[in-house]
Amino acid sequence: MKMLRMSTALRRRLASQNAMAINAKGQEVLHGLTVEESRFVVGCSDGDALDMSDEERDRYAGLILKHERARMRSACADRGIAKDEERLG
């Protein structure tokens, strides 16, 4: 398995959130993201957000939303929650 490079603290946080997955190629990724997208998010998460350009911040925010949606879909599927039940709360 090819693991994403990140700090121990970030790895612990992501693991506790069940945020990581293994793709079909045996690569560690964040749920819903490609390897490249995952590397970008991890790099931004481990780095200093103040050093990011506006474009990088926008990309980071969009990828976080994409990741969280995928993570929630996965969590709901694991619990057997149908889409209609999700909407009803």
DSSP string across 12-47: HHHHHTT-EEE-TTSBEEETT--HHHHHHHHHHHHS
Q: What is the largest CA-CA distance in the chain?
A: 42
| 15-53 pLDDT per residue, tens | 999 999 999 999 999 999 999 999 999 999 988 777 899
Lowest mean pLDDT among 6-15, 26-35, 79-88: 79-88
Q: Where along the chain do its domains lie?
A: 8-88
Tokens found for residue 50: 């103040």
Q: The pTM is what?
A: 0.81
pLDDT of 87 higher than 60: no
Contact 73, 25 (CB under 8 A): no
pLDDT of residue 43: 93
